[in-house]
Structure 1
Amino acid sequence: MYVSFPEPVAAVEVLRQGKPLVVAIDGPSGSGKSSVSKAVAKRLGLAFLDTGAMYRAVAWHCLNGRINLENAAAVEGAARTIGLEQSLTPDGEYIKVNGINVTGPIRTPEVTAAVSAVATNLGARAELVRRQQDIIAKSGARIVVEGRDITTVVAPHAEARLILTASEEARLRRRGLQLGGAQTDAQLRELVLARDARDSTVVEFHQAADGVFTVDSSELDFAETVSAVLTVVRRAVNEGPAA
């Protein structure tokens, strides 16, 4: 798997200079973890990995190649053989599948509806976790990683681990705004809540494990949420994990 790392830049804020700094962020759909994680990575001058994009890329590959998503062995095989190229720069993020730029196509409703078939496939999940851990190592372990099981499986020894959550109402509202209001309430609930319920069968991302901080952004705007996450990272680095 080929990945592109950001060019060295002067960090706005430097933490653990010259040492590993992995920030692991979990959270449910609509919690804002992708946009907030990008902003945190930019603020700290770190690489950024959207692990969800990898699952979406495999789902797109299966749909495009007419691979039966109900065939667990076929989906696992797709995850093991797919060629992924992913930028780890917070600005200008992209992902390619076997040389095809799928940055936009992986965000379609069709892929969103299909991605749980990949995320709940234990073999495919194990392969993508392996790739994610390889990316973290190659980044020099200075990276923000966001997704579903990052704090407990992908990067359980990260210097800062947190769950970014929000109320059901806030998450539905945010996802609706993100999608331009084109979805009905039922469609939004399917995209956000039903998908989370399916993914929850194989991974926990609603409740913080021991040593993992929680940031509830229900009543926070974007800037306030970024600030709250940065505060958690500083605390984790300076004081160690939460009790």
Structure 2
Amino acid sequence: MPHTPLTIAIDGPSGSGKSSVSRAVARELGLAYLDTGAMYRALAWHCLEQGLDLDDGEAVTQAARDLPLDVPTDPDGQSVTVGGTDVTGAIREQRVTEQVSAVATNLDVRAELRRRQREVIGAQREERGGIVAEGRDITTVVAPDAEHRVLLTASEEARLARRSTELHGGADADQVAATRDQIVRRDEQDSTVSAFMEAADGVVTLDTSDLTFDEVVAAVLALVRGEVVAQTEPQAPHTPDPDA
């Protein structure tokens, strides 16, 4: 555990590896871990269970404010619960994946969940000495003052192959085609309210297209430890809309 509180913020498009890499980095450094995407998925699941119209912005926003959500911060134990119900598996189901962008592009919902995310980050800096937080907005809006901010990226081909293998057990043409809508469509929808395809000023980009999982984890750890990493480079200034 570091002596000085540490926040590592990791963002990137779908299939870039940010969740699994962030969890591994948190485990290696003895830090807490926050999957912010799980919070949006949990809200989408809750709204679907309650029969709410996801196009009813006010109703969904109120659901976000009232959501009895518990997202654990232990990188080795990620049981997401809503009102005491374990929804860890349910929030990854296809019906949630297809609908979550409708929730995630609601600006009032984003404001509420960002508030919760900042609370978690602050608490874990105090309690555990630091946190690895990953997801949309994390490097630019939620934790712009994080000690380390990283944008993981990869070619569309690589991202599709990874997510296809994860969901379907392989990456042949049919399996990749079945995955394409989830990756491409969600990124297009989410990019209307969040900047995650290009790094903001001060955020380091790591292209993972040709790297193994272990190599990506090692590269992020090297960055945190101040070692030279050939794969990373600072990006040109980019100022996202603070209300996006």
Pair in the same fold by TM > 0.5 = yes
Report whether the alignment pairs 1:219 with 2:210.
Answer: yes
**1:117 maps to what in 2?**
102
**2:125 maps to what in 1?**
140
Report whether the alignment pairs 1:66 with 2:51.
Answer: yes
User: 1:26 touches 1:162 (CA, 8 Å); kept in 2?
Assistant: yes
**1:129 shift after superposition:** 0.1
Report whether the alignment pairs 1:199 with 2:190.
Answer: yes
Distance in 1 between the 2:117 and 2:139 partners?
13
| 1:36 aligned residue (15, 21, 27) | 21
**1:179 maps to what in 2?**
167
Distance in 1 between the 2:31 and 2:175 partners?
37
**2:239 maps to what in 1?**
none
Q: Which runs of 5+ in 1 are unaligned?
A: 1-10, 12-16
RMSD: 1.7
Q: Which runs of 5+ in 2 are unaligned?
A: 228-232, 236-244
SS class of match (1:235)? coil
**1:83 maps to what in 2?**
68
Task: Pick which of 224-233 and 57-66 moved more.
Answer: 224-233
| 1:23 aligned residue (2, 5, 8) | 8
SS class of match (2:168)? coil
**1:231 shift after superposition:** 1.5
**1:95-174 equivalence runs, <5 A:** 95-140=80-125, 142-174=130-162
Distance in 2 between the 1:235 and 1:39 partners?
18
User: 1:213 touches 1:232 (CA, 8 Å); kept in 2?
Assistant: no
Distance in 1 between the 2:5 and 2:77 partners?
24
Distance in 2 between the 1:202 and 1:70 partners?
16
Deviations along 1:17-67, one digit per CA (max 9) or x if unpaired, are 321100000010001110000000011000000000000000000111101
TM-score in terms of structure 1 length: 0.88
Report whether the alignment pairs 1:231 with 2:222.
Answer: yes
Distance in 2 between the 1:213 and 1:120 partners?
25
User: 2:7 touches 2:125 (CA, 8 Å); kept in 1?
Assistant: no
**1:78 shift after superposition:** 0.8
**1:242 shift after superposition:** 5.0
Deviations along 1:150-170, one digit per CA (max 9) or x if unpaired, are 000010000000101110000
**1:99 shift after superposition:** 1.1
User: 2:104 touches 2:190 (CA, 8 Å); kept in 1?
Assistant: yes
Q: Which amino acid aligns with 2:142?
A: V
SS class of match (1:94)? coil
Distance in 1 between the 2:234 and 2:176 partners?
37
Distance in 2 between the 1:62 and 1:88 partners?
23
Task: Pick which of 224-233 and 30-39 moved more.
Answer: 224-233
**1:7 maps to what in 2?**
none
**1:184 shift after superposition:** 4.5
How many corresponding residue pairs? Answer: 224
User: 1:76 touches 1:124 (CA, 8 Å); kept in 2?
Assistant: yes
SS class of match (2:226)? helix
